[in-house]
Amino acid sequence: MKKLLFFLSLIFSCSLFGQEHAWVYFKDKPSEATFMSSPLTMLTQRALDRRTKQGIALDSKDVPIETSYYDQIKAATGISVKAKSKWLNAVHVLGSVSDINALTSNFTFVDRIEFANRSLNTSSTAVARSAKVINNHKNKLQTKKPNYNYGDATNQIEMLGGDFLHRNSFTGNGIHIAVIDAGFPNVNTLPAFSRIRTNNQILGGYDFVNRSDNFYTGNSHGTHVLSDIAAYKDGEFIGTAPDASFYLFRTEDAANETPLEESLWVEAAERADSLGVDIINTSLGYSTFDNSNYNYSYSDMDGQTTFITRGAEIGASRGMLMVTSAGNSGNSPWKYISAPADANSVFTIGAVNQLEVIANFSSYGPTSDGRVKPDVLAQGQNVYIVNYFTGNNATSNGTSFSSPVIAGVLACFWQALPDKTNFEIMTLIRESADKFRNPTDHHGYGVPDFNAAYNLTLSVDEDSFNNFKVFPNPIDDLVTLNGIDGNLKEYSLKLYSVLGKQILHKQELTSNSINLSNLKTGIYFLNISNGNKSKVIKLIKK
């Protein structure tokens, strides 16, 4: 029997030998016009409302991949289709090199092939890829305010000013969060999650690894991550957004490390977008794989190379706030952030201990193209979670947990300021952090203060910035600043791209007219400030 089992195992191993992961990109979407004329066939009304609120138009990326293309690739000799992405108009396949390469000659709708093992890419159009580390603001303050006893979670919440938001009734209510992780065992039974179960705050989920509707399975990592946002044990442990609603998506196979997990993540993010999710938390990261031929280098952490990072950028462009852990490689030879933490539009979270001292394991920035990462920090060393097996509070370590701690407070903050865009929210929180003016490779912009960020936005509505306007908008070349009171030199101005990159900084204004003729067509955010008061206005460049 043992010999037979060994023989069968050898046959199975040989059958997998030579199987490669690759992305097959399509040239077009022939059904685009049909879908664009019926938006509800692509997105829920909640998703459409989120787009409208943030001024984001539908485009071809929202259109599903062509069904006939998918079916033909699926039926091709030697090809197994493992995932698909409408955002990137591609399918993830497994097959031999020859069978995969044959797709370009057999099907005219195939644009290009991109192998995970980049040494196999012969086309100049192939793009590189990466591995994992489970690691209305006019809203009045309500009179009925919760008085939580956070228990063991006190420090990690109060460090960020999350308790201030909670005391003012901003507890995540109305905000939908998707947690994309390695599994959620016992979330359906643990007392710590009984409150979100009873209140129907778990809106759904899916196991993309096993293609199953049973998402209460897999690795306990996701359960621990969720506890930092959603758990509720009064007097013992309360998460950072106890009244938010959740989708739970499993994309990570903790037993294996393959490029397929990147594609499953993108598929889950697309599902979250279509359901109208506001925030995605990702306590996963990719830089190395079981097969070293698929590994990424630091140069790949440039915000545009890996499949998951490209997907995350598109997710942010849809109006979702993408929050991810920086990685736990700070004291290893790699040391740097992993994908999708390198994405420009992703809010990347590093870790500190309870005294706000940087954790030595927290991965470093900058990105390989020189951008500041991580964005901000939260407690991730000696941080409390709810143990998935016992249901008891326990300490753990990892940016895997600093990310959901922040994600929950962001949900409360966005509830308080519902008219802000995802990029405006990120900008406000970066600017509230203790190292904003002097960011470092390890700290990024530092530990944020949500209390200060909220109070700053309130002060803006109560002062002379109420009269501030820009004209014209949309703009051609010159923009005029109207409604500025007092001395121009007391005002400073910053201009950010829609991805949060600072493009212009005037420390002192010398004129109320600014020449922006060098800007490309698109959306920008203008931040004008006077002392500790500021206002952000969206600019559209024709």
pLDDT band for position 499 (50/70/90)? low
Are 499 and 451 members of one domain?
no
Q: Domain for residue 139, yes or no? A: no
Q: Domain for residue 137, yes or no? A: no
Residue 288 tokens read as 């190395």
Residues 6+ apart with CB under 8 A from 420: 137, 414, 428
pLDDT band for position 19 (50/70/90)? very high
Q: Domain for residue 6, yes or no? A: no
Q: Domain for residue 346, yes or no? A: yes
* Average pLDDT of the segment spanning 65-80: 98
Are 365 and 507 members of one domain?
no
Q: Give 223's strand partners.
A: none
* Bridge-based pairing state of the strands 347-352 and 376-379: parallel
What is the structure's pLDDT at 283? 98
Query: Tokens 């079981």 appear where?
Result: 290
Q: Domain for residue 128, yes or no? A: no
Assess whether pLDDT exceeds 50 at residue 3.
no
User: Rounded to whole angstroms, how far apart are CA atoms 128 and 294?
Assistant: 10
Are 114 and 23 members of one domain?
yes
* Bridge-based pairing state of the strands 478-482 and 469-471: antiparallel
Assess whether pLDDT exceeds 60 at residue 12.
no
User: Rounded to whole angstroms, how far apart are CA atoms 407 and 380?
Assistant: 13
Q: Is 481 in a helix, a strand, or coil?
A: strand
Write out pLDDT tens, residues 132-146.
444 443 343 444 568
What is the structure's pLDDT at 297? 97
Query: Tokens 């460049």 appear where?
Result: 541
Q: Domain for residue 174, yes or no? A: yes
Are 175 and 319 members of one domain?
yes
* Residue at a domain's end among 395, 426, 458: 458
Assess whether pLDDT exceeds 50 at residue 8.
no
What is the structure's pLDDT at 525? 80
pLDDT band for position 481 (50/70/90)? confident
* Residue at a domain's end among 458, 488, 507: 458
Phi, psi dihedral angles at 430 (to 5 degrees): -60, -45
Name the DSSP class of 315: H
Q: Would you say the pTM of this structure is higher than 0.85? A: no
* Average pLDDT of the segment spanning 420-436: 94
Q: Domain for residue 210, yes or no? A: yes
Are 408 and 484 members of one domain?
no
Contact present, 481 and 514 (Cβ < 8 Å) = yes
Phi, psi dihedral angles at 210 (to 5 degrees): -100, 0
Are 438 and 486 members of one domain?
no
User: Rounded to whole angstroms, how far apart are CA atoms 234 and 243?
Assistant: 14
Assess whether pLDDT exceeds 80 at residue 227.
yes
Q: What is the CATH number of the domain that holds 441?
A: 3.40.50.200
User: Rounded to whole angstroms, how far apart are CA atoms 427 and 353?
Assistant: 24
Contact present, 231 and 237 (Cβ < 8 Å) = yes
* Average pLDDT of the segment spanning 235-244: 98
Nearest to 95 by CA among 182, 18, 171, 8: 18
Are 255 and 316 members of one domain?
yes
CA 467 to the chain's CA centroid: 35
Query: Minimum mean pLDDT among 284-288, 416-420, 524-528: which range?
Result: 524-528
Exposed e or buried b per residue across 81-103, where buried means at least 16 C-beta atoms within 10 angstroms of its C-beta: bbbbbbbbbbbbbbbeeebbbbb
Q: What is the CATH number of the domain that holds 472?
A: 2.60.40.10
What single string gives the DSSP state of each residue in 333-344?
A: SS-B--BTTT-T
Residue 166 tokens read as 């909670």
pLDDT band for position 536 (50/70/90)? confident
Residue 319 tokens read as 């109006």
Residue 364 tokens read as 């470093």
Contact present, 327 and 119 (Cβ < 8 Å) = no
Contact present, 145 and 277 (Cβ < 8 Å) = no
Query: Minimum mean pLDDT among 6-10, 22-26, 364-368, 523-527: which range?
Result: 6-10
Assess whether pLDDT exceeds 50 at residue 14.
no
* Average pLDDT of the segment spanning 374-403: 98
Query: Minimum mean pLDDT among 103-107, 285-289, 328-332, 455-459: which range?
Result: 455-459
Query: Minimum mean pLDDT among 73-77, 297-301, 400-404, 473-477: which range?
Result: 473-477
What is the structure's pLDDT at 538? 78
* Average pLDDT of the segment spanning 385-414: 98
What is the structure's pLDDT at 2? 37
Assess whether pLDDT exceeds 80 at residue 162.
yes
User: Rounded to whole angstroms, how far apart are CA atoms 519 and 97?
Assistant: 44
Are 336 and 427 members of one domain?
yes
Are 201 and 234 members of one domain?
yes
pLDDT band for position 532 (50/70/90)? low
Assess whether pLDDT exceeds 70 at residue 515.
yes
Kindly compute the dihedral angle of the four CA atoms of residues 443, 536, 138, 426, in this order, to the nearest 10 degrees.
-30
Are 233 and 291 members of one domain?
yes
Distance linking the first and last C-alpha atoms of the chain: 73
* Average pLDDT of the segment spanning 171-195: 98
Active centre residues (catalytic) = 181, 221, 400
Residue 265 tokens read as 């993540």
Write out pLDDT tens, residues 323-334.
999 999 999 999
What is the structure's pLDDT at 529? 80
Peptide linkage before 404 cis (omega within 30 of 0)? no
Task: Indicate the number of domains in the chain.
Answer: 3
Question: What single-letter amino acid sits at 57?
Answer: A
Assess whether pLDDT exceeds 70 at residue 286.
yes
Contact present, 358 and 381 (Cβ < 8 Å) = no
Strand order in the sheet with 513-515: 469-471, 478-482, 513-515
What is the structure's pLDDT at 459? 53
Stronger pLDDT, 8 or 221, i.e. the higher one: 221
pLDDT band for position 468 (50/70/90)? confident
pLDDT band for position 486 (50/70/90)? confident
Are 191 and 327 members of one domain?
yes
- The proportion of the chain whose per-residue pLDDT surpasses 90, expressed as a percent, equals 74
What is the structure's pLDDT at 466? 65
Question: What single-letter amino acid sits at 161?
Answer: G
Assess whether pLDDT exceeds 60 at residue 5.
no
Assess whether pLDDT exceeds 50 at residue 379.
yes
What is the structure's pLDDT at 144? 53
Query: Minimum mean pLDDT among 80-89, 131-140, 224-233, 339-348: which range?
Result: 131-140
Write out pLDDT tens, residues 295-328.
999 999 999 999 999 999 999 999 999 999 999 9
Are 532 and 410 members of one domain?
no
Q: Domain for residue 143, yes or no? A: no
Nearest to 350 by CA among 316, 308, 379: 379
* Residue at a domain's end among 458, 482, 509: 458
* Average pLDDT of the segment spanning 220-240: 98
What is the structure's pLDDT at 139? 41
Q: Is 480 in a helix, a strand, or coil?
A: strand
What is the structure's pLDDT at 436? 93
Write out pLDDT tens, residues 243-262.
999 999 999 999 999 999 99
- The proportion of the chain whose per-residue pLDDT surpasses 70, expressed as a percent, equals 89
* Average pLDDT of the segment spanning 115-123: 89
Containing structural domain, residue 320 = 154-458
Whole-number average pLDDT of the chain: 90
Nearest to 93 by CA among 85, 103, 102, 83: 83
